Amino acid sequence: MKKLNYIDLGVHEGEEIDIVLQDYSDYQDDFDLTIYGVEANPNLFHFLVGKYKHFDNVKLFNNAITMESGLSRLYLGEGTLASSIYPTKNNVTNQSVSVIAYSFFDFVKNNILDFEDSFNVLKLNIEGAELAVYENLIEKNMVGDIDIFCGHHSHDIEKISELESKRERYYSLIKEYGLELEYLCGEDKPYKSINIFERYDEMMKTFKLDKNKDTICTLGSCFALEIRRELEDRNFKTSPVLGEWEERNEQLVWYNTFSILYEFERAFAGRKTNYDDLWKARRWNRWSGYQEPSRREVFHETLEGLIELSEKLDKEIIDGMRNANVYVCTLGLSEVFKHKKSGDVVCTHPAYNRTRGEGLRLVEFWNLTKEDNLKNLQRICTLVKENNPNAKVLFTVSPIPLQRTFTKTETDVANFLSKDKLHWAAKKVVEEFDNAHYFDSYEYVMNLPKDVAFESDGRHVTRDTVAEVISRFESKFL
């Protein structure tokens, strides 16, 4: 049995405990779960005692969590709104009660005897006292004992005027120590909440990279290219190296799961580029020739030159993929176009980057389902397992949003649906294949303020954010 402690600081009415218990119903044969629920509000605490009286593995505590143990005042919220130890928090009243408070270190020492030997999940929603917990964890060298930090992605410190001078330190600690919360919330969009038992299995599967031995091949959207550049800046070995194309690497971008799969099939299943799918194209109304559409930005003025160029790309990409033992695949979108003649999916919309020509009339739109995407990812993992058995495949979802949609919905809605399908497929394939892993760069980026995460165009991720993503990558896999 796998020992797992779920520590809920700020239980409120037990919304997150309910999610954990519901998920646990599918994992009872595999996990020994103990829930430690801390709620400072005495009225809510008495309600919780009645609610969970039949759950032997739920232990409840009527305490506050602060920087130091002792007595503390708790300022009650209006109605059932959250209370706080800070009187300047929004929505608290002048009514207060005295509660026994503990530092997180003292609470653990007094109540969780198997803490150091267990997988520990910490949920925080303690109305501004999160900073006290972070500082206590750091002071007592306990950060590494928490395997998952979770909660709502809002920051209550912003609601408390007396903590304004400490906000910079709060955010710097989160960044320095990797204290970002994975989403777990029963009140707001509970369907987005993590399953802590699934995350346990994912984390236990995590492999470790050796910078001196491992070679990483990145495939996917523009975000994959940014990841590759940052990895190279940190002296990771990457492939393929595209010689004369190295400066821009326009051909190292594959937006959909089909175009990524085609590269694995070229490398491991003998797939050949279908030159019957070439079409005439012109760029920016000043250049005309031919395009090979299974990859991005592959053009030449003559048909013979295009085939020669494509064959050169084949060799360099195939060699690079065969020499790699780690594949990082960033999944970009589910709206694709397939060639009417062959049925093969093309890499980009035929009019991408002001391209004009025959392509528009030779393709038809296809909105991939989550099952379509999963089938492609399963095929990728199977090919890698059969042909490069010691290699690992890391999937993540690109945070770069759709620029436009070809469906009848609004772009924001279409983007959400597209990313949701890709996320589902990535998580599903990780459950099925031992060589598949998931990296949560998408979740990290999307939970940052938009003006921090993205450039002024609102689409491309800033270099600083990419650097933070790779720092988290190193923390997890090195």
Structure tokens at 126: 């303690």
The pLDDT of residue 244 is: 56
Which pLDDT tens digit goes with each residue over 348-387? 888 887 788 888 899 999 999 999 999 999 999 999 999 9
The pLDDT of residue 311 is: 93
Question: What is the rounded CA–CA span in Å between residue 465 and residue 444?
Answer: 9
Looking at the predicted structure, is the pLDDT value of residue 298 above 80? yes
Domain with CATH 3.40.50.1110 in the chain: 207-477
The pLDDT of residue 348 is: 87
**Range with the largest mean pLDDT of 3-7, 170-174, 221-225, 254-258:** 3-7
Which pLDDT tens digit goes with each residue over 437-478? 998 889 888 888 888 889 988 888 998 999 998 988 887 787
Which pLDDT tens digit goes with each residue over 410-427? 999 999 999 999 999 999
Which pLDDT tens digit goes with each residue over 53-87? 999 999 999 999 999 999 999 999 887 777 999 99
The pLDDT of residue 91 is: 86
The pLDDT of residue 286 is: 59
Looking at the predicted structure, is the pLDDT value of residue 301 above 80? yes
pLDDT band at 284 (very low <50, low <70, confident <90, very high): low
The pLDDT of residue 207 is: 78
Which pLDDT tens digit goes with each residue over 105-139? 999 999 999 998 899 999 999 999 999 999 999 99
Looking at the predicted structure, is the pLDDT value of residue 245 above 90? no
The pLDDT of residue 287 is: 63
Percent of the chain, pLDDT > 70?
97
Looking at the predicted structure, is the pLDDT value of residue 232 above 70? yes
pLDDT band at 240 (very low <50, low <70, confident <90, very high): confident
The dotted CATH code for 2-204 is 3.40.50
The pLDDT of residue 249 is: 60
Residues near 329 by Cβ (< 8 Å), separated by ≥ 6? 218, 219, 220, 224, 260, 377, 380, 393, 394, 395, 396
Average pLDDT over residues 80-98: 89
Looking at the predicted structure, is the pLDDT value of residue 247 above 70? no
Average confidence score pLDDT of the chain = 91
pLDDT band at 216 (very low <50, low <70, confident <90, very high): very high
Kindly report the pTM of this predicted structure: 0.66
The pLDDT of residue 352 is: 81
The pLDDT of residue 349 is: 87
Range 207-477: architecture per CATH: 3-Layer(aba) Sandwich (3.40)
